[in-house]
Amino acid sequence: MQLHHSKHHQTYVNNLNAAEEQLGEALQQGNVTKVVALQQAIKFNGGGHINHSIFWKNLSSEGGGQPSADLMDQIHIDFGTFENMQNQMTAATVAVQGSGWGWLGYSKQNGGLRVLACANQDPLEGTTGFVPLLGIDVWEHAYYLQYKNVRPDYVKAIWNVVNWKDVQERFVTARQS
Amino acid sequence: MKAIKNNGGGYLNHALYWTVLAPNPNNEYRHPEGKIAEDIMNTFGNFSIFKNIFTDVSSSYFGSGYVWLCRDFNIGHGSHLMIATTANQDFPLSEGLHPILGIDLWEHAYYLKHQNARAAYIDDWWHVVSWDAVAQLDKWWSKRNMHDEL
């Protein structure tokens, strides 16, 4: 986790800052070609920064268990049972090809919850409109040192450190906005 | 189809990756010779320039994928060399390109030894490229793509 935070996340932040600076210059110069060319770097690094900022809050050493209150009610509405949601999210996350994230997302359109997956560092809200509540990073850097290629074991274990208080707060905030 | 593309591609990509690597216990500087060396020179200027471009593309590649040196036979006469990238386990032949050298940039290829230091991995990788194997692969593709005029 240390490496994940101090190296990977830090690199996204550094690269995002650099890309934003270049974007500012390109906009000032009216250089549309360069503006377009920078979009990829902004998506990668901006997404990487957004996603990891959520990830650290989503986890807690005192986490695990199940959510309560409003979030649990909504999970029952959209998935039937908590286990169903967990199984769906686990399956979708493990099935990500290459690098990416599994997400529990909130639809501002209909107030419902949905399991989704994104490739690379594509930010959930920026690319799909769904508000990210809970994310599971399945870039190999997230689990390789501890689990090697056994991604299913990592995804199974991460449920033990989910900070449901944080996920609930995101749900309530998303609903209110 | 997706499963076939990912796993079939994964098999082909790794088969190629292992084929062009060979141990280098004395950490000798390796470089191509003969036809492939000539073609690299004619395409990129010199071997050093080619190495720098390939390294740059590999360092800046985002996500999981591969960087390749390929033969493109889809030109009027003969073939030319080009550097190409593929995402995840996509195989270059799907784009009509014939790989003769490839580097695996999935994190699993370097994480245990180098963690996030991809540049160090790429540096190491150059030391274990077998240019003999690359030349043989090049010859093999050429035979399969012989034009009528030959």
CATH assignment of the domain containing A44 = 1.10.287.990
- Could you tell me which of B17, B80, B83, B21 has the C-alpha nearest to residue B49? B83
Mean pLDDT of A16-32: 97
Q: Which of A120, A121, A141 faces B116 most closely, judged by CB atoms?
A: A141
Is the pLDDT at A2 greater than 90? The verdict is no
A74 and A130 assigned to the same domain: yes
| Structure tokens that stand for A92 in this block | 């979708």
Domain boundary among A10, A36, A58: A58
A63 falls within a domain: no
Domain boundary among A20, A36, A58: A58
Identify all chain B residues contacting A99, using CB atoms and an 8 Å cutoff: 63-64, 107
The per-residue pLDDT for B147 is 54
A52 and A94 assigned to the same domain: no
Burial B123-142 (b: 16+ CB within 10 A, else e): eebeeebbbebbbebbeebb
Give CA–CA dist B28/B127, Å, rounded.
7
| DSSP type of residue B72 | E
**Taking the CA atoms of chain B, what radius of gyration do you get in angstroms?**
15
Domain count, chain A: 2
Is the pLDDT at B148 greater than 50? The verdict is no
State which CATH number among 3.20.20.70, 3.30.70.260, 3.30.230.10, 3.55.40.20 fits the domain covering B2-142: 3.55.40.20
Best of B111, B112, B118 to substitute, by most chain A Cβ atoms within 10 angstroms, is: B111
Q: Report whether B97 contacts B13 (CB < 8 A).
A: no
The per-residue pLDDT for B144 is 83
A163 and A112 assigned to the same domain: yes
Is the pLDDT at B149 greater than 80? The verdict is no
Task: Say what percent of chain A tops pLDDT 90.
Answer: 94
What is the CATH number for A117?
A: 3.55.40.20
**Record: contact A99-B112, CB cut-off 8 A:** no
A48 and A77 assigned to the same domain: no
Domain boundary among A19, A36, A58: A58
A64 falls within a domain: no
Identify all chain A residues contacting B116, using CB atoms and an 8 Å cutoff: 3, 7-8, 11, 141
Say what the pTM is. Answer: 0.93
Show which residues on chain A lie within 8 Å of chain B, measured between beta carbons.
3, 7-8, 11, 40, 44, 97-99, 119-121, 139-141, 144-145, 148-149
Give CA–CA dist B86/B27, Å, rounded.
29
- pLDDT, tens digit (0-9, with 9 covering 90-100), for B86-124: 999 999 999 999 999 999 999 999 999 999 999 999 999
**Record: contact A97-B6, CB cut-off 8 A:** yes
Domain, as residue range, for A98: 69-176
- pLDDT, tens digit (0-9, with 9 covering 90-100), for A143-175: 999 999 999 999 999 999 999 999 999 999 999
The per-residue pLDDT for B89 is 96
Distance (Å) from the C-alpha of residue B28 to the closest C-alpha of chain A?
30
The per-residue pLDDT for B146 is 63
The helix or strand, by DSSP H or E, that contains position A44, with its residue range, turns out to be helix A32-58
Task: Say what percent of chain B tops pLDDT 90.
Answer: 85
A92 and A52 assigned to the same domain: no
Is the pLDDT at A70 greater than 90? The verdict is yes
Give me the interface pTM, i.e. the ipTM.
0.90
- Shortest CA distance from A119: residue in chain B: B63
A52 falls within a domain: yes
A38 and A82 assigned to the same domain: no
**Record: contact B108-A144, CB cut-off 8 A:** yes
Q: Would you list the domain boundaries of chain B? A: 2-142
